Amino acid sequence: MASDIERIKSVKERHEKTWLRIPDVVAVGIGITSVGSPGIIVSVKKNPQTARRKIPEAIGDIRIEIQVTGEIKSL
């Protein structure tokens, strides 16, 4: 599993800056996907379809999910 996380981390690091430039994308992280496996979670303010047009559902066997979280503000 540790090697899986390292592969996911590598994919996230390669694409994160590009994905954060997409309108409504507010965060890119690593977490457990809706199918119960580790993957990349892309958080958006409100419109997941805009992000999905530019972000694939998977890269290799790494699942990429888009979740509506709203705006994220630091405290």
What is the domain count for the chain?
1
Residue 52 lies in a domain: yes
Q: For residue 1, what pLDDT is reported?
A: 57
Backbone phi and psi for residue 55, each to the nearest 5 degrees, phi listed first: -120, 125
3-state secondary structure of 25: strand
Q: What is the CATH number of the domain that holds 36?
A: 3.30.300.50
pLDDT tens-digit profile, the chain (75 residues): 568 999 999 999 999 999 999 999 999 999 999 999 999 999 999 989 999 999 999 999 999 999 999 888 878
Residue 75 lies in a domain: no
Residue 74 lies in a domain: no
What residues contact residue 45 under an 8 Å CB cut-off, 6+ apart? 24, 26, 68, 69, 70, 71
Residue 73 lies in a domain: no
Q: For residue 71, what pLDDT is reported?
A: 87
Q: For residue 2, what pLDDT is reported?
A: 63
Q: Are 29 and 41 in contact (CB under 8 A)?
A: yes
Look up residue 24 and give its amino acid: D
